[in-house]
Amino acid sequence: MIKNTLVTLLIFITIGLTNTHAGWYECYNFKGTIDKLPISLFIQVREGYFGEVDKKEFNIIGIYKNDKDNNPTRLEGKLNLSNNKVLLYEINNNKHTATFEFEFSKSECNGFWKNLSTNQKLPLQLVYNSLLIDTLKDSKFEEIEILQANSLKDYYFVGLYSKKTDQDKAQMDRLNIISKKDNSVFQSIDFSIVETQTGNLSTIIFDNVEIDDSKERGFTVLNDIGRGGGYLMVSFNPKTNNFKLNPKPIIEGQN
C-alpha cells in the first residue's frame, strides 16, 4: 500500500511540475530516537535534484537535529520505490559522515543509524508526524512545521506552513525562532501583513531562511515577489532584545 501511495505521489509530482499552478514540495516529517537520543527528521522527495553522476539515484533531501543540541544537519539520499527502503547520508563539512537506513512508512519506521568512521550502529526508531504536499491543486493543510537548515548560534528556525485549496503553493505563515538551549519559542515572526507569499521560493523547502549576519543575528526569509522572487529582512535589536521584520519585500537584484 505504501509503495503504491509513493508511486502515485511521484506521478502527481511529475504532472505538477508541468503545471504552473502547482507547487513543488512533498515532505514527510518524523519524530524519533537514535538509540536513546531524541531527534526530529524531515525529508523532501526531490526527483532529479542532484544531477551528479554519483548521485543519479538520489531522490530525497532532508534535514534533522538531535533535540538536545538542536543544530540542524543536512541529509541527502535515496528512496527505493521497489522496496520502500530509505538510505540517507548525514553531511558534515561537505562529507558523508553517517547514514540513516530504514523502511519508509507513514506510521512507524525502524532501522539504524551508522557512523561511517567507526562503523558503529545504533537503533533508529521514527514515528510519522505530518505531511506537507502542495503539488496537487486541491491539497490543503495548516500549521505544518518545517525545520530550516540555517540557524544562529543560540537559535534555530521552524517555519509553520499552510495551503488553502484556492492557493497555488504552500506558504510560510509564521517563523518560530526557537532557543537551542531549551527548545522554547523565543519569538514568532508573523507574515500575515506581507502581501506576497513567504517561505516558498527555494525549491528545497529547508532553504527558505538565509543568514545575513550571524554576529548581528540578522537573517532573511525568501519571498515570492515579482518575476524572480526576493526576500524579507529580519534584524535583531539588542536594546529591546527581539527580532524585527521589515514587511516590505526586496526584489532580488535591487537595493
What is the distance, to the nearest Å, from the Cα of residue 72 to the centroid of all Cα atoms in its chain? 10
Bridge partners, 144 (sequence order): 161
Quick one: 123 and 11 in the same domain?
yes
135 domain residue, yes or no: no
Residues for the chain: how many in total? 255
Is residue 53's pLDDT more than 70? yes
Q: What's the rounded mean pLDDT across residues 199-226?
A: 92
- Is-contact 231 210, C-beta < 8 A? yes
CATH number, domain containing residue 24: 2.40.128.120
Quick one: 118 and 144 in the same domain?
no
Identify the weakest region by mean pLDDT among 116-125, 143-152, 197-206, 214-223: 214-223
Domain end call among 80, 108, 130 = 130
78 domain residue, yes or no: yes
The count of domains in the chain is 2
Quick one: 100 and 21 in the same domain?
yes
Mean per-residue pLDDT of the chain? 89
Quick one: 173 and 64 in the same domain?
no
Q: State which residues form the domain around 32.
A: 2-130
Domain end call among 130, 160, 176 = 130
The pLDDT score that the predictor gives to residue 166 is: 87
Quick one: 166 and 234 in the same domain?
yes
223 domain residue, yes or no: yes
Nearest to 146 by CA among 115, 116, 178, 123: 178
Quick one: 28 and 145 in the same domain?
no
Is residue 39's pLDDT more than 90? yes
Q: How confident is the model at residue 80 (pLDDT cuts 50, 70, 90)?
A: very high
- Residue 73: which H helix or E strand, with range? strand 73-80
